[in-house]
């Protein structure tokens, strides 16, 4: 049974290592509700809290958020929920179409 558990451990380690090779995806979200230069900080923090988000850049001037994420860990819906829950409803502006 020792050999078997070693195999299980190896398989689990391979699964953990796998997401590193996943494709990241970048989308732009329209965030029209940002009213002052501090709003983007709240939006960015909310997006960065979503597991799988690698980078979030939020522009107050352009009222948009550019988010790079691992699409095996999260999706656009989760990003939209995150900004909405932070008080800033958003919509998908550009990026590859939803699957």
From candidates 36, 51, 97, 99, binder to Cu ion by CB under 5 A = 36
Q: Is 24 helix (H, G, I), strand (E, B) or coil?
A: strand
State yes or no: residue 61 binds Cu ion (CB under 5 A).
no
- DSSP string of 37-81, one letter each residue: TTHHHHHHHHHHTSTTEEEEEEETTTTEEEEEEETTT--HHHHHH
In the complex with Cu ion, which residue's Cβ is closer, 14 or 36? 36
Among 27, 29, 31, 39, binds Cu ion (CB under 5 A): 39
Minimum distance, C-beta of residue 34 to Cu ion, in the bound complex (Å): 6
Residues 12, 39: contact at Cβ < 8 Å? no
Q: How far is the CB of 60 from Cu ion (least distance, A)?
A: 8
Is 38 a binder of Cu ion (CB under 5 A)? yes
Q: Which two tokens stand for residue 74?
A: 């999260």
Chain residues in the site for Cu ion (CB under 5 A): 35-36, 38-39
């Amino acid at each position: 049974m020792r050999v078997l558990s070693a195999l299980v451990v190896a398989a689990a380690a391979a699964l953990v290592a796998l997401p590193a090779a996943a494709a990241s995806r970048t989308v732009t979200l329209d965030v029209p509700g940002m009213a002052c230069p501090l709003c983007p900080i709240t939006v960015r923090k909310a997006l960065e809290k979503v597991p799988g988000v690698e980078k979030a850049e939020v522009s107050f001037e352009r009222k948009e958020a550019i988010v790079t994420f691992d699409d095996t860990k999260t999706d656009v819906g989760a990003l939209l929920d995150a900004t909405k829950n932070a008080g800033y409803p958003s919509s998908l502006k550009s990026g590859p179409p939803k699957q």
